[in-house]
Chains A and B, each alone.
Chain A
Amino acid sequence: MNSDSVISKSIFTRGSILEDREKKFGWFLILPSLIIIVSLVLYPIVYNIFLSFFEVKVTGNNEFTGIQNHLNIITDPAFWQSVTTSIVYVLFTTLGTTLVGLCVALLMNRKFPLRGLVRSLILLPYVAPVIAVVYSWQFIFDPVNGIFMHIAYDKLHLFTERINLIRSPDTSIYVAILFGIWKNFPFSYLMILAGLQAIDTGLYEAAEIDGCKGWQKFRYITFPEIYFLLGSIILLRAIWNFNKFEEVFLLTQNVKVLPIYTYLKAFTGIMDIGHGAAIAMIQFILLIGFILIYVKRVLKW
């Protein structure tokens, strides 16, 4: 029995006046939150769709242009380039964070000395400000001083010369993906660990009696038990990574994922808000499409 049914028993049986009062009280308490979310989240989203049909002027009147903005966007090769970049970025960061998160969660699910300390340390990438850690990454990959080139070029001879991986357009996406995994794996790890700890230990004991080894235990017990949890975490991460701006923009200017493409269109050079709004809208439609397919195929709702 949850607390709701207890409440209903104790209060609602006393009559409809109380029920009515309860209703008013509930709405009264939620009202401030509701007003804020409707006026500052839902209304702006609708307004964004509205804006996408105009040539927007920050001062003065907007000029109605119909679907011209949308047409301009979807016929622009740079937009599709950006869509491709986004897909690659989202795919690899999401799989990477989940995989690293899963491995770390499996490790951390055991007891060992200093576990508390290790736990707090590995959450640091997730809580530190993006702006404070990007420059450290820049330094690590700095062609002259960085430790990465010191190891990869001087020690392992993987490169023919010391190159700037973050500045060069071909390689910057790999660093951005690695950075995304590093920054967000603690989130996946935390969620997966909570799932692992909820698994009934009796299942493992039974499997051991049946002669299951380590891998088989993972394959036949752990994995099925956390399948839907993993599915939801992947979905959340995919949504969030798709919307990521700062983690890419502050690290490198060369990886133009969709939010950055939108930002550059709308807020730099000749500020073209109407086109920006159109991209943001198309981006949102793409995201909704992905979510619907994913929920049906993977989560089987």
Chain B
Amino acid sequence: MVTSTNLLKKSIFALSIFIVVLFAIFPFIQMLSTSLKYQWDWGNPSLIPSKLNIDAYKELLNIGQAEKEVPQSVLNLLEENTELSKKQKKEILDKYKSTGDVFPFFKFFFNSLILAFSSAFISVLIAIFGAYSFSRVRYKGRGIIQRSVLLVYMFGPILLLIPLYILSAKFGLISTSVGAFITLMTIYMVLTLPVSLYMLGNYFRTIPYSIEESALIEGCSRFGVIWRIVIPLSISIIVTVFIYAFMIAWNEYLFASVFLKSFAELNTLPLGLRQLFVSKNAIWDRIMAASMLSAIPVIVLFMLIQKQLTGGMTAGGVKE
């Protein structure tokens, strides 16, 4: 009797866990499944493709696209024509490789990578000193500073978007592609700075002060303490905060859509994906494959820092 109610309880528990996990990851499974299906297979509710289709990935990653789209007559013509040099032949062939224009994945990926990496790097660098200042150094006014950083949590992106757009337009920053790119990078840095300050500040408080004190007694300078003791001791949380800031910038759409509107060559992955969806090239398997490719870097990074991040998020403030 006891064991049977226990068994029932256990299976209800297992079932609830299963439902929660399914709820959380079903859209990801659906994404993967559709990205691997042929068009005739889309309506099939089964998540396992009847026949595996990796064309969408090949197309986006530009693998084996070289000869596929070139009409046979052109190939024949090129072969018969001996007067053309190799270089000229290649140029003609390149004209038929149109898929790069549909969704130049690597270009978007590269743009996103530079933006997210540089903004996260600068944000964390500035935050290390700022967080050390208000978690360790004692002076008047640091409480107010700490609270005003908290205040930034309340401002929605839309409230900042309008004034920042007008300011950068009036200063002529968004009339050139380089200017727009740097402006956007600075904005991402600002958006990630509060969370970096908070998570680092909360961690620095847990480092025993006696370690720093003994270094000071040994003749280490205050900067030396930060450089030789605080940073090495908190390297794992620094990496975590960096990756979190990186993810915020990587995922951002709104600011990018406004600031990079007239610079197609600088578009980030989210912008490219949006354009793919609204263009005539929108085909489900292609969209899903592009979604997978945009999500995978973030998911991999997240898995690397998962434990640290959940600790850091719950210990202090966290901003989206």
Q: How many A-B contacts are there with CB distance less than 8 Å?
A: 264
Number of residues on chain B facing chain A (CB within 8 A): 92
Q: Indicate if A78 sits at the interface (CB-CB under 8 A).
A: no
Q: Contacting B137 at CB < 8 Å: which of A2, A26, A239?
A: A26
A39 to B134 CA separation, bound complex (whole angstroms) = 20
Q: Indicate if B205 sits at the interface (CB-CB under 8 A).
A: yes
Taking CB as reference atom, which chain B residue is nearest A43? B163
Q: List which A219-253 residues lie within 8 A (CB) of chain B.
A: 236, 239-240, 242-246, 249-250
Taking CB as reference atom, which chain A residue is nearest B217? A10
Q: Indicate if A218 sits at the interface (CB-CB under 8 A).
A: no
A123 to B253 CA separation, bound complex (whole angstroms) = 21
The CB with the most chain A CB atoms within 10 A, among B152, B153, B209, B269, is that of B209
Which residues of A have CB within 8 Å of B26?
140
Are A23 and B139 in contact (CB-based, < 8 A)?
yes
Which residues of A have CB within 8 Å of B161?
263, 266
The CB with the most chain B CB atoms within 10 A, among A120, A131, A140, A277, is that of A131
- Cβ contacts B279-293/A at 8 Å (1 or 0 each): 000001001100110
Are A51 and B162 in contact (CB-based, < 8 A)?
yes
Q: Contacting A29 at CB < 8 Å: which of B25, B130, B292?
A: B130
Q: Contacting A191 at CB < 8 Å: which of B156, B274, B314?
A: B314
Taking CB as reference atom, which chain A residue is nearest B207? A3
B interface, over-half SS:
helix
Which residues of B have CB within 8 Å of A30?
129-130, 133-134, 142, 145
The CB with the most chain A CB atoms within 10 A, among B20, B269, B287, is that of B20
- Cβ contacts B223-261/A at 8 Å (1 or 0 each): 000000000000000000000000100110110001000
Q: List which B187-214 residues lie within 8 A (CB) of chain A.
A: 187, 189-190, 193-194, 197, 205, 208-210, 213
Are B159 and A129 in contact (CB-based, < 8 A)?
no
Q: Indicate if B299 sits at the interface (CB-CB under 8 A).
A: yes
The verdict on A3 contacting B314 (CB below 8 Å), with A33-B127, A136-B30, A246-B254 known, is no
Q: List which A144-160 residues lie within 8 A (CB) of chain B.
A: 144-145, 147, 150-151
Q: Indicate if B99 sits at the interface (CB-CB under 8 A).
A: no
Q: Indicate if A85 sits at the interface (CB-CB under 8 A).
A: no
Q: Indicate if A135 sits at the interface (CB-CB under 8 A).
A: yes
The verdict on A25 contacting B222 (CB below 8 Å), with A127-B247, A133-B295 known, is yes
Which residues of B have CB within 8 Å of A71?
none
Are B159 and A284 in contact (CB-based, < 8 A)?
yes
A129 to B34 CA separation, bound complex (whole angstroms) = 18
The verdict on A22 contacting B253 (CB below 8 Å), with A10-B213, A127-B247, A127-B299 known, is no
A85 to B56 CA separation, bound complex (whole angstroms) = 38
Q: Indicate if A64 sits at the interface (CB-CB under 8 A).
A: no
- CB of A146 to closest CB in B, whole Å: 9
Q: List which A24-69 residues lie within 8 A (CB) of chain B.
A: 25-30, 32-34, 36-37, 40-42, 44-45, 47-48, 51, 56, 58-59
Are B130 and A112 in contact (CB-based, < 8 A)?
no
Q: Contacting A133 at CB < 8 Å: which of B31, B153, B303?
A: B31
Q: Contacting B13 at CB < 8 Å: which of A40, A56, A110, A244?
A: A110
Are B154 and A44 in contact (CB-based, < 8 A)?
no
Are B126 and A194 in contact (CB-based, < 8 A)?
no
Are B193 and A33 in contact (CB-based, < 8 A)?
yes
- CB of B140 to closest CB in A, whole Å: 7
Are B17 and A112 in contact (CB-based, < 8 A)?
yes
A291 to B197 CA separation, bound complex (whole angstroms) = 24
Which residues of B have CB within 8 Å of A193?
314
Q: Indicate if A104 sits at the interface (CB-CB under 8 A).
A: yes
The verdict on A135 contacting B222 (CB below 8 Å), with A29-B132, A121-B24, A245-B254 known, is no
Are B25 and A121 in contact (CB-based, < 8 A)?
yes
A45 to B270 CA separation, bound complex (whole angstroms) = 26
Are B273 and A145 in contact (CB-based, < 8 A)?
no
Are B145 and A280 in contact (CB-based, < 8 A)?
no
Given A30-B134, A242-B156, 6 more A-B residue pairs with CB atoms under 8 Å apart are: A26-B137, A44-B163, A133-B27, A137-B27, A245-B156, A263-B161
| B-to-A contact residues, CB < 8 Å | 13-14, 16-17, 20-21, 23-28, 30-31, 34, 42-43, 45, 126-127, 129-130, 132-134, 136-140, 142, 145, 148-149, 152-167, 169, 186-187, 189-190, 193-194, 197, 205, 208-210, 213, 222, 247, 250-251, 253-254, 258, 269-270, 273-274, 277, 284, 287-288, 291-292, 294-295, 298-299, 302-303, 306, 310, 313-314, 318, 320
24 CB < 8 A contacts A-B: A6-B210, A7-B136, A22-B138, A22-B139, A30-B145, A32-B130, A33-B126, A40-B186, A42-B148, A59-B169, A112-B13, A112-B17, A122-B21, A131-B269, A136-B27, A139-B284, A139-B288, A140-B27, A186-B24, A190-B314, A243-B155, A250-B253, A262-B158, A267-B165
